[in-house]
Amino acid sequence: MTSILALSGGFTWLGALLPEAMHNMPHHQGQRLAHSMLVVVIVLGLALLARLALNRTAKGRDGLVPEANLKPKNLFELYVEAMLNMVRGILGKEDGDYYFPLIAGLFLYILVSNLMGVLPGFAPPTDHINTNLPMALTVFVVYNVAGIIRQGPVNYFKHLLGPVLWLGPLMFLVEAIGHLVRPASLSIRLYGNMFGDHLVLDIFMNQLPDLVGAVLGWGLPVLFLGLGIFVSLIQAFVFSLLSLLYISLAVQKHDDHH
């Protein structure tokens, strides 16, 4: 039973393990809260394993020799290097190192949440706007506060007026609306893509098994499963990249444009 059926009242492993907790709150809310907490536990568990492995190999040549097998430490090293290069490439080294924990944390949480939707008996927290909006609002607050601190309140709000004085009120209205729409855009984009992806996956894996099996065998379900994993990765990347770009636009100087 996939995520769509899980959130519409079907079976989930957490619902079976925590029936009392699920009974005390609305079904959808209980499912998402429980699975959100599970995502946090998974991420922290992987990070702890990687940290312990790093501590064991921190001394001597062992810390410089790659592991023969793929382990959590190697995965995190690859992930940290890739994300750090991306963040530094857009924000520079100083700002990149400062905002790296936020961007990397968002990406990892969203990715694990999205991938949970392709596992039978689990529900992805990110296929509902109530999960995505708090993350988007966090980004909204962070980049606005960063812009005000970096440029000062006067200069930060002055760039919203544009270079033409008599168009200032109109430009301010347009810019203000654009900024307010950003959290909604981040939330709805992630929600829409994940809900649609998991709905298609659910249809082909659960609601049409006989038809699909008779016509195409397991080829099409496997294809959609791979597509679901790909979409999960892309949506986590898009959310993180847009958040990074918003921070970049807020902290850069606006003397020569806008």
pLDDT in tens, 65-114: 666 666 667 788 888 899 999 999 999 999 999 999 999 999 999 999 99
Residue 165 domain-assigned (yes or no) = yes
Residue 93 domain-assigned (yes or no) = yes
State yes or no: pLDDT of 60 exceeds 70: no
pLDDT tens digit sequence for 197-247:
777 776 766 655 555 554 555 566 677 778 888 989 999 999 999 999 999
State yes or no: pLDDT of 63 exceeds 60: no
Domain enclosing residue 195, as ranges: 3-251
Total tally of structural domains belonging to the chain:
1
Residue 256 domain-assigned (yes or no) = no
Residue 205 domain-assigned (yes or no) = yes
Residue 209 domain-assigned (yes or no) = yes
**The length of the chain, given as a count of residues:** 258
In order of 116, 193, 200, the CA distances from 208 in angstroms are: 22, 21, 11
Residue 257 domain-assigned (yes or no) = no
* Best CA proximity match to 138, nearest among 92, 186, 196: 186
Rounded to the nearest 10 degrees, the angle between the axes of helix 72-91 and helix 27-56 is: 100
C-alpha–C-alpha distance, residues 249 and 238, integer Å? 16
State yes or no: pLDDT of 49 exceeds 90: no
C-alpha–C-alpha distance, residues 148 and 180, integer Å? 16
Q: Where does the pLDDT of residue 122 fall: very low under 50, low under 70, confident under 90, or very high at 90 and above? A: confident
Residue 80 domain-assigned (yes or no) = yes
